[in-house]
Amino acid sequence: MSHSHTSQATHTPTLNTLRFYITTKLRNPHYLPEVSVKVTLLNFMITPAGLSDQMLGVAVATERPDLEEQKASLVGVTSSDA
């Protein structure tokens, strides 16, 4: 004799688990004030020079981790001097 048990899990989103993302290619999008006060806007726009710097950083970290460590320590010293 075989028994088949099935169960359904229901998940009700709460404020802690519900995430809603909006993306746009507009440089400076305008949202209604009702939307703006209820969300956190993030600007992930990157320039070609910034992208080049990030790619160079990844390449250096892969090829020469010693240089990446040196850079990190120099950035730390520079930021503590400011």
Per-residue pLDDT of the chain (82 residues; tens, 9 = 90+): 444 445 455 556 566 777 778 788 887 888 888 888 888 887 777 888 988 988 998 898 899 999 988 988 888 887 777 6
Rounded to whole angstroms, how far apart are CA atoms 82 and 79? 5
Token pair for residue 58? 């990844």
Whole-number pLDDT of residue 2: 47
Rounded to whole angstroms, how far apart are CA atoms 11 and 64? 47
Rounded to whole angstroms, how far apart are CA atoms 36 and 22? 12
Signed CA dihedral, 27, 42, 22, 46: sign only: positive
Q: Angle at the Cα of 67 (from 65 to 71), degrees rounded to 5? A: 115
Rounded to whole angstroms, how far apart are CA atoms 81 and 26? 38
